[in-house]
Amino acid sequence: MVEQFAFTVDVKSVANKQIPCHPEQKMLDAFLRRGEWIPNSCNQGTCGTCKVKVLSGTVAHPPTPDSVLSYQEQEEGFVLTCQSVPTSDVVIAVPAADKPSSTGHLLRDMTATVLQMQTTATDTLTISVGIDEPLEFSAGQYVELAIPGTNDVRQYSMANPPSQSNVLEFHIRRQPGGLATDAWIFDSLTAGDAINLTGPWGDFVYDDDDDETGMILLAGGTGLAPLKSIALHALTVNPQREIHLYHGVRRSADLYDVEFWESLARNYSGVRYVPCVSREHWSGRTGYVGDAMLADFDSCRNYSGYLCGPPAMVDAGVKAFKRKRMSARRIRREKYTPAPALINA
């Protein structure tokens, strides 16, 4: 069958690559399916990571908040590739600071089979799914799960390392009224069910340039998932790696994977696990992960930092790292926010 393309995107700042787009295909999707890397993070039009400048031609896209692209940027022709569909042949430029050093991994559509669902904490499931063909991805990336009977998707990070690419692990917390969680995953999804995935997405990934530094990982809630993947991958590269994992939750009942991290710390001399609870008194550390890190380190100059969790936690963690003199280029972060409730809670 001959593929039908509507328009071509000429990417001038990436070795003059020409990327064909199917009708109604968003530019970022077209790039990644052909192995042409463009910076991307949320894939929802809220972070601004995938912005490019349209030099000629036209694209269709929904309104972009000025908090994502400033009015000046929009007037200068900047758009978000995750939201923009070409309506003519287009020439774009990727901002110089964001030019890729590699092509990344091919974006794929997959059908997976649910292998196991386990309740691991209050309102939190760990789900394992099997795929027929291994998925190539970088530690820290995510896939989109298609919600049956809708046109909606939700993003979930892989918690398994890239070396385990036939079975993917996800950490999913129930959101009251959530279309994906309350109305599907926690309601009716069961082992043996088929689910549709697309991935990998995202540039919150383990950086090979960090191989010679210690790592400090700050996780909020199920932001633990990509950091688990990153930590396990780092240990395959260097089993002696110094890794400090701080996991923050509101209550001790929200903690999960405790035995896994305690076992990892016993088996690897460089691994340290610090669970933190912010809204109740318990036998361990009380407070926020950023504050716990500040109390434990005199300096973070020789460390790299990875943060994933709610925006307030990530912002506070970044400030804490900088306060302890961690280089800004070694701080990598990913913020997540729950999708709005779409059903009655």
The DSSP line for 64-107 is --TTTS-HHHHHTTEEETTT-EESS-EEEE--GGG--SS-----
Residue 276 pairs in a beta bridge with: 248, 285
Q: Where in the chain is the domain with CATH 3.40.50.80?
A: 208-335
- The model's confidence at residue 96, banded by pLDDT at 50, 70 and 90, is low
Closest alpha carbon to 272 in 253, 285, 254: 285
Q: What is the pLDDT of residue 278?
A: 97
Provide the percentage of residues in the chain whose pLDDT is more than 70.
93
From the candidate CATH numbers 2.130.10.10, 2.40.30.10, 3.40.50.410, 3.20.20.150, the one assigned to the domain spanning 108-201: 2.40.30.10
DSSP letter at 297? -
285-286/271-277 β-pairing: parallel
What gap in Å lies between CA 32 and CA 40, rounded to an integer?
Answer: 10
Provide the percentage of residues in the chain whose pLDDT is more than 90.
84
**Does the domain at residues 7-98 carry the CATH identifier 2.60.40.1930?**
no
pLDDT digits (tens, 9 = 90+) for 8-26: 998 876 557 899 999 999 9
Residue with tokens 């110094």: 242
Asked whether 101 and 38 are in contact (CB, 8 A), the reply is no
What gap in Å lies between CA 128 and CA 160, rounded to an integer?
Answer: 9
Asked whether 324 and 240 are in contact (CB, 8 A), the reply is no
What gap in Å lies between CA 101 and CA 15, rounded to an integer?
Answer: 12
pTM of the predicted model as reported, rounded to 2 decimal places = 0.91
Looking at residue 82, its amino acid is: C
Backbone φ, ψ for residue 151 (5° rounding): -100, 15
pLDDT digits (tens, 9 = 90+) for 282-323: 999 999 999 999 999 999 999 999 999 999 999 999 999 999
pLDDT digits (tens, 9 = 90+) for 207-259: 888 777 899 999 999 999 999 999 999 999 999 999 999 999 999 999 999 99
**Does the domain at residues 208-335 carry the CATH identifier 1.10.15.40?**
no
Q: Where in the chain is the domain with CATH 3.10.20.30?
A: 7-98
Q: What is the token pair recorded at 82?
A: 């995750």
What gap in Å lies between CA 28 and CA 40, rounded to an integer?
Answer: 8
